[in-house]
Amino acid sequence: MNWQGRKVLVTGAGGFIGSHLVGMLVQRGAKVRGLVRYNSRGGFGWLHDLPPDVYRSLEIRQGDLRDADVMLRAVDGCEVVFHLGAMISIPYSYVNPTEAAAVNVNGTLNVLNACRQAGITRLVHTSTSEVYGTAQYVPIDEKHPVQGQSPYSASKIAADKLAESYYRAFDLSVVTVRPFNTYGPRQSARALIPTVIVQLLSGSKIKLGSLTPTRDFTFVDDTAEGLIKAAEAKGAAGREINLGSGNEISVGDLVELIARISGKNAEIEQQQERVRPRKSEVDRLLSNNALARQLLGWQPRVGFEDGLRRTYEWLRNHITEYQRALADYVI
């Protein structure tokens, strides 16, 4: 697909993955409209971190996914929509499940309705590997059962099924992409890798929950590239597609690897309050990315250690703001 001059909407544009995706799309010549949630500080999230020429080229709109009129106006005039906007925190979803459902389910419904009315050529709906729950078999392919092991994952399952229904009932050209554990610069301080690195850089004990669960990590540039390829692929409409590396590492081994990269000693303190409820913990995630390779021609290009080094250096240069974020972080 030639992105030059193509008008694109990205919901959740100011977020971790969204801001990287926006940068890639602009570099390819797309005219990008970014939807960010309004806040009283007037900030646009990580969009401020983009190069000045990229930032100046953006059309930024503020609004809430839960407002149907906002979505109709945001989608109007666009050809392609990337839907990344979501309430993403699993711990927060335990405390406020109603908000998780309102944003992730009702918000996605508003996106689908707006895309249907506007006649967009492709909607890329961003799901998550959390919909699978803990692996019943590995590697996890797209036929693996879904399990609502947290209010967050349940809300994303519902959103995925709405997307499927709009493809089947209304012939909406929607692709559901399921990234496994994306990491890299700009990730939230609450996420595992930033939490470990920031605590390590701060010289404190690394406070974590369970050390045995395994995760399948993909560098953010690779995830963003997969989203773009999902928008381009002709045979992808109506499909659910995993974006993962096909490799897994336990939380404990991850800490050891980051410590080796940093040259620092890691002392881990396990805290019960950081452990998920027993039936809610996802013990194992390991992707089968064969469908992404086949349909999208996608595969991860950034090796895990290389990506961790890039992430470590970026966080070291932004340590003050991340230390503040972790100090304020409750949920």
**Which residues are tagged catalytic?**
152
Structure token digits, residue 11: 């919901």
C-alpha–C-alpha distance, residues 6 and 248, integer Å: 37
Structure token digits, residue 17: 């993955």
Q: Which DSSP state fits 13?
A: T
C-alpha–C-alpha distance, residues 16 and 110, integer Å: 22
Q: Are 257 and 249 in contact (CB under 8 A)?
A: yes
For residue 124, list its beta bridge partners.
82, 175
Query: Residue 179: which H helix or E strand, with range?
Result: strand 174-179
Q: Closest by alpha carbon to 34, among 69, 16, 52, 8?
A: 8
Neighbour tally for 134: CB within 10 Å: 16
Q: Closest by alpha carbon to 20, among 289, 265, 314?
A: 314
